[in-house]
């Protein structure tokens, strides 16, 4: 499952506005580049980022709920595995 930052970047990419944003770390949330914050604050760029993050959180939430509904795998130890792990070395 993708992380929220990866999903947010993907949403911005689909909108074709990813070049307005940057990040200091490769796996961090997008943030507007300096020229969209100062000297004139660009509300549209800010709103698009917030909307992408909110959409990403909803996608992630749906994925987490879907995973939680899936049954967890049961014990998968075979008799041969048990015997191999519990061999006693003869000295």
**pLDDT, tens only, 72-87:** 666 666 666 666 666 6
3-class secondary structure, 32? strand
Q: What is the mean pLDDT of residues 14-33?
A: 89
pTM of the prediction? 0.70
Would you state the pLDDT for residue 44? 94
**Mean per-residue pLDDT for 11-40?**
90
- Residues 47-82 as b or e (16 or more Cβ within 10 Å = b): ebbeebbeebeebbeeeeeeeeeeeeeeeeeeeeee
Q: What are the structural domain ranges in the chain?
A: 4-69
CA dist 82 and 73 (Å) reads 18
Mean pLDDT score across all residues of the chain: 84
Given a contact cutoff of 8 angstroms between Cβ atoms, the answer to whether 66 and 45 are in contact is: no
pLDDT for the residue numbered 42: 93
Q: In whole angstroms, what is the distance from residue 53 CA to residue 33 CA?
A: 16
Query: Which H or E element spans position 22?
Result: strand 21-22
């Amino acid at each position: 499952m993708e992380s929220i930052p990866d999903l947010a970047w993907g949403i911005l990419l689909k909108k074709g506005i990813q070049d307005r944003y940057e990040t200091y770390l490769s796996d961090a949330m997008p943030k507007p580049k300096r020229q969209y914050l100062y000297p004139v604050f660009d509300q549209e760029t800010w709103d698009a980022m917030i909307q992408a993050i909110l959409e990403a959180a909803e996608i992630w939430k749906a994925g987490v709920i879907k995973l939680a509904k899936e049954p967890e795998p049961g014990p998968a130890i075979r008799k041969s595995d048990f015997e191999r792990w519990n061999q006693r070395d003869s000295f």
